[in-house]
Structure 1
């Protein structure tokens, strides 16, 4: 666009010597050139830096949308990661704009999909602003105080260097953690000193031997860094559960190769299963080893729930071995990714709500919820979403796409092509130029602050002291136009120790009986 504006302006000037009417062309070309030059040097909008002048077409339609809203069938966006309104909320909070909404809710409150949180006639205006949660069992000597909202796993390689830097700087400013994703701990994660949760997948990137197995000494050197607060064993992710990955050789740059401990230019393989363990007890022994190597920092697992008895087998193994995890992150099937087979992302894996309730029941029913913290990940974009997950047992939430929106992502759906127009999900230096790190980091921090503040307002409205006080009865679900139920009337919720006592709901008891601490296979039919 820049060269086009320059050429057109030059042609108009030359032609004007012979044809005075051509001076009118300068009325168009010179302003276009001026706008282009301004766009190239401004730091607020990535699209304008990468696509000067032409990007204004998007801003025009964004301005026009409220006027056409009544005539636009937004249901055509079904299947996209987030709705227009959810994305607009994130943008407004990230930019510091007013996020209030006039005329009340536009949701159909009589729809069977409508749900809400109960509020109290006696709001608790004195509820503490600091709502952090302590992560670390009795076996953890260096617990971590986690924010109620953090940046979910997104690897260097899937995101560009500028995006990683902006996210981590935002986490540093806002005081929350940044999950590395399974692509390992890169220099860009470390540059600004924001809190890190180091995720280890089946490829053990960043701490692997030449043949792809876990390297304890390499792991220890990084896990003991002050910036690394916790480590997380990734068993599966919601967007492609049970599926390994391949980063094609041409995309394995020198930086990515050095970060992941792999060979440059060769395919980077992430197996479907871990080689360090194959049983529930083996998983716990591996986690205990990681905790020792890290110097006593919290260690947990992340998974998308598949067969409930497999998760319960891990819980049974904790009882049998005395080894406890410090936290479990449940990733819902609605979780996002840069690319995944459609069949897996659409039809494999359990949605967050059901997975979270099963994990909550397993821990509470086994008497372990006080030791093992529970987190939720999957389409979390608001304080209300955090509160709803808290009512189902989550101690905190992780989010990925909302923080990408904070960076300027416009959902162009080009993540897997390396052609991201806003410089977020690309390794192209030219495209990454559009993402100005300090400016985007402030947006990341603002979105986090506004969303956590919204959570606090909901805690106050419910008359509670903390998000941890939310219970299933606070969350209501409309069943049909004439019927409403509390969530504990829709799903079974066990009391402390019920699974051990054998007094739990029939389906939960069957899953518990089928769980084997020595194997992920069913012990008896479930």
Structure 2
């Protein structure tokens, strides 16, 4: 009997091992057969034993369990409802409370409105976007080939755009047929000449690809404002090196800023030049710290002409962080999105540029409340990077910079990459995007508007330090356009 029991146990283990390594839905089980199953057991048991442990739903960082669970369920297209009331105190300082209306639109009265033009009247080939929620910049190199492939297909299925990040355009970005925003980083990867400067010839080649809809000049990013991109040499494979135009196996360190931009006028010249060469909408991405340069930029645009304005401004938050960076910059550099976003919106409004420059918000916006809040504060569209990483199966193992990601999202170790099946994960990426849009629309309808792009600061309150709701419109008073710019 003992021998039979042991044999039965071994057969059972062998069956689980084979089942795990051959399935494609769970990267952890595929990379760690049998042992990976314990993760799901502990997650399940944790629901019953949570009162005995300190790491509760809202205490994990940088994203707590409640935030991640919503993304996982949205990506798997599972029911997102919860029971027995909120686990979040309703008097927590900084919490956003949306204001429902008496007469919300009936379902039959809800209409479209998710169309937004970029560069209309200024770029030869303007871009019409049909989604207020899109995939933020993540480079090929920082992310694996299967991850980029899944993002491309998922973006194509759900109608969202995919930002390449500063690492250039790889074949994997194009596979899903999605719209592409090509990011020009400080190292000009993918469009650089032999001296590391911008190559008009390569820029025109990239622009000739129909899927590439816009260009984004990155000035800084949330994880490390004031420092360029960091890709360890262990992650610079031959294909990544070819895509970026750099040697394989060597650390890929971008300059901390564009060497040719030494003034606001230089920045406007570069925006105008990229738009003229490419024929496509061109914007900028930056984390806001000192804000005086925003006034300088807006004033010079008014003096030189609206053709020098960026077609969009992606404002990144100081609490962004999908890339590797020194901890001092991740923790303590750059304004958070709730300060920088309304600041930018108000500056553009004051100078009469709000209709000319679209605002894209980015930085730790992975749940419907985050996205709706950004739209209330002045964003026209919202991007997220880590939200889509979670939809790919990321478990917040914090191994992004070590080439040891257990789910295959940020590693170039082929043994670990095999756990990420692009076909399965593409569906999850698309589900996440669709369910995010749907739930933000639910919030909008409850507030009495037909579409999330109709949000404004009157639709929400923010809990103040005393625990009382303060109207968002009082916390961030709307400004008016100055008389000379009307």
Indicate the residue corresponding to 1:518 in structure 2: none
Measured in 2, the distance between the counterparts of 1:458 and 1:256 equals 41
Match of 1:311 among 269, 282, 294: 294
Tell me whether 1:393 sits opposite 2:374 in the alignment.
no
> What residue ranges of structure 1 are gaps of 5+ in the alignment?
1-19, 502-526
User: Which of residues 415, 429, 450 in structure 2 aligns to 1:465?
Assistant: 450
Q: Would you say 1:109 and 2:93 are equivalent positions? A: no
Contact 1:238 1:336 in 2 (8 A): yes
Residue 379 (structure 1) aligned with residue 360 (structure 2):
no
Q: Is the 8 A contact 1:137 1:324 kept in 2?
A: no
* Range with greater deviation from structure 2 (299-308 or 105-114): 105-114
Within 5 Å, which residues of 2 pair with 1:18-417?
21-74=2-55, 78=59, 80-125=61-106, 126-146=109-129, 147-295=131-279, 297-322=280-305, 323-417=308-402
Distance 1:316-1:407 versus aligned 2 partners, 3 A rule: same
Change (3 A) 1:47 1:276: same
Q: Is the 8 A contact 1:407 1:424 kept in 2?
A: yes
Give yes or no for contact 1:281–1:321 (8 Å, CA) kept in 2: no
The answer (yes or no) to whether the contact 2:444–2:451 under 8 Å persists in 1 is: yes
Tell me the distance in 1 between the aligned counterparts of 2:435 and 2:399. Answer: 28
Q: In the alignment, is residue 487 of structure 1 matched against residue 472 of structure 2?
A: yes
Comparing 364-373 with 239-248, greater Cα deviation is found at: 239-248
What TM-score comes out, normalization by structure 2 length?
Answer: 0.95
Deviation larger for 480-489 or 271-280: 480-489
Q: Secondary structure at the residue paired with 1:74?
A: coil
Aligned length: 481
* Helix, strand or coil at the partner of 2:15: helix
What is the CA–CA distance in structure 1 between the aligned matches of 2:17 and 2:418, rounded to whole Å?
15
Q: Distance in 2 between matches of 1:481 and 1:75?
A: 24
Q: Distance in 1 between matches of 2:374 and 2:169?
A: 29
Contact 2:318 2:363 in 1 (8 A): yes
- Residues 386 and 21 of structure 1: CA distance in aligned 2, closer, same or farther (over 3 Å): closer
Q: Measure, in 2, the Cα distance between the counterparts of 1:77 and 1:428.
A: 33
Give the whole-Å Cα distance in 2 for the aligned partners of 1:253 and 1:491.
47
Change (3 A) 1:242 1:78: farther
Contact 1:418 1:427 in 2 (8 A): yes
Larger Rg: 1
Report the secondary structure of 1:417's partner residue: coil
SS of residue in 1 equivalent to 2:182: strand
Pairing 1:432–2:417 present = yes
Inter-partner Cα distance in structure 1 for 2:20 and 2:13: 10
Is the Cα contact below 8 Å between 2:289 and 2:334 reproduced in 1?
yes
SS in 1 for 2:134: strand
For 1:365 and 1:499, how far apart are their aligned partners in 2?
Answer: 10
Change beyond 3 A, Cα 1:466–1:41: same
- Once residues 118 and 133 of structure 1 are traced to their aligned partners in structure 2, the CA distance between those partners, rounded to angstroms, is 26
| Deviation larger for 76-85 or 155-164 | 76-85
Distance 2:365 2:467 in 1: 29
Structure 1 window deviating more from structure 2 (162-171 vs 138-147): it is: 138-147
Q: Which runs of 5+ in 2 are unaligned?
A: none
Q: How much does 1:277 deviate?
A: 2.0
> How far apart are 1:118 and its partner, in Å?
1.1
The alpha-carbon deviation at position 104 of structure 1 amounts to 2.2
User: Does the aligned pair in 1 maintain the 2:162–2:181 contact within 8 Å?
Assistant: yes
Shift of 1:268: 2.4
The alpha carbon displacement at 1:228 in A equals: 0.3
| 1:249 CA displacement | 3.8
Change in CA separation of 1:499 and 1:241 when aligned onto 2, cut-off 3 Å: farther
Alpha carbons of 1:278 and 1:412: their partners in 2 closer, same or farther (altered >3 Å)?
same
Relative distance call for 1:499 and 1:267 in structure 2 (3 A) is farther
**1:442-499, CA deviations, whole angstroms, 9 ceiling, x for partnerless residues?**
0000011011011111221111132232221212012245632111212343112369
The residue number in structure 2 matching 1:524 is none
